[in-house]
Amino acid sequence: MNEFARQGSAAFNERLRGALAAITADVVAAVGPAMEALVLGGGYGRGEGGVVLVDGVEQPYNDFDLFLFVKPGARVRVDALAPILEPHAHRLGIHVDVSRPIRLAEIPRWPPALIWLDLLEGHTVLAGPADVLSSRVPSWLGQTLPSVEALRLLLNRGGGLLWAMRVARGVEPPPDPEFVRRNAYKAALALGDALLILHGRYRSVCLGRDALFQALADELPGVRALDVAEFHREGLAFKFHPDQAPRLAWTTPDLEALCRAFVRVFLAIESRRHGILPGDPSTYAAWAGRREPPEGGIERLLRNAVQNLRRGRLSLRAPREGLYPDLPRLLDPAAFGTAAWPGESGGWLTAWRRTL
């Protein structure tokens, strides 16, 4: 019997099982014979989903992350599933997200990336063969992730943190009441996780990951000097029980301390990856080097060129390349009070959302 949240009660897990069975039945009916499998990833797929008490009743906190696998040549419009999934999401009080349609033949060719590692190491098959992923694992599974995945994780969580800072400073309204707190904790967790990836110690299972990071910090003075073990520990606690996490609200000093830690870790990782680099955000922004390794294949290069042209840039590099330089500078608390920060941070976030 699957556990979707090991810290939740048996009754809570049974409710999630029923909700997921209903979602699966609707997706199977909508996709029809084109469907190969439906897989639950994320925290609930790994058995580590968040649980909160609302009026004394256990409720889910995280999104349901569904991965849809379809037969070769099948044409499935994921946007057509939105009206089917919305009633379920409304009842659960969370988002129910579905991936783009994926062919089974793609799985062995998945690149070594955090998203695929997390899915392969922890998932629940809702429909289709139980070994739909485990029988097709890429050859890199079991090896360490490339160091660029540490940078990509920080780009993802740094964008959320920058958005949260705009909300906290009154530049724009919050998308939801938990927005600042949720994104602060995600960024806090990413600080330790990025360093674990960089040093080849990352594991997808959350339980015990704080001990992994503490061991890394104890072993390496450079990691210990970054002083992020407590942030990482709090981020993990939030994943399991968001309503019992140490900070029920993040004060302005808390958020600014998190931003300073984020900048420290970001620049330390880039220094390690590229050799000697400037240690301050402004000089890093001016550095002309490539942040990511070149992406191979003519098709990929042409796709990069098209995406960059839509943004008014002429480049064959991945569109993410244009985002890395300014992120530490915009997250430096010294920039928050400047007249340019609201406009520059807003423009950066617009470009960041286009890459998601």
User: What number is the average pLDDT over the span 251-262?
Assistant: 97
Sequence letter at residue 189? L
Closest by CA position to 6, among listed 41, 63, 49: 49
Is residue 132 classed as helix, strand or coil in its secondary structure?
A: coil
d(CA 200, CA 212): 11
Is residue 59 classed as helix, strand or coil in its secondary structure?
A: strand
Closest by CA position to 327, among listed 147, 114, 156, 146: 156
Instruction: Calculate the alpha carbon distances from 240 to 19, 47, 98, 121, 166 in Å.
Output: 20, 10, 23, 18, 27
Q: Which of 35-44, 202-211, 246-255, 306-315 has the lowest mean pLDDT?
A: 306-315
Q: Which pair of structure tokens corresponds to residue 342?
A: 């609201």
User: Is residue 133 exposed (0-12), middle (13-18) or buried (19+ Cβ within 10 Å)?
Assistant: buried
Instruction: Calculate the alpha carbon distances from 40 to 29, 36, 68, 103 in Å.
Output: 17, 14, 9, 16
Q: How confident is the model at residue 317 (pLDDT cuts 50, 70, 90)?
A: low
pLDDT at 164: 98
Q: How many C-beta neighbours within 10 Å does residue 234 have? A: 18
Closest by CA position to 197, among listed 185, 213, 183: 213
143 close to 120: Cβ distance less than 8 angstroms: no
User: What number is the average pLDDT over the span 74-87?
Assistant: 92
Under DSSP, the state recorded for 48 is: B
Ramachandran region of residue 214, left (φ > 0), alpha (ψ -120 to 50) or beta?
Answer: alpha
pLDDT at 311: 55
Residue 301 has pLDDT above 80, yes or no: no
Decide which of 64 and 298 is more confident: 64
Q: What is the pLDDT of residues 329-346, one digit of tens each?
A: 999 999 999 999 999 999
Q: What one-character-per-residue DSSP string does 229-244 give?
A: HHHHHHHHHHHH-GGG
Tokens 């029980």 map to which residue?
241
Sequence letter at residue 24? T
Q: Which residues of 147-175 are buried (b: 16+ CB within 10 A; e: fewer)?
A: bbbbbbbbbbbbbbbbbbbbebeeeeeee
190 close to 220: Cβ distance less than 8 angstroms: no
198 close to 269: Cβ distance less than 8 angstroms: yes
User: Is residue 65 exposed (0-12), middle (13-18) or buried (19+ Cβ within 10 Å)?
Assistant: buried
Q: Mean pLDDT over all residues of the chain? A: 92
Q: Which pair of structure tokens corresponds to residue 230?
A: 């407590």
d(CA 132, CA 125): 8
Q: What is the pLDDT of residues 7-50, one digit of tens each?
A: 899 999 999 999 999 999 999 999 999 999 999 999 999 999 99
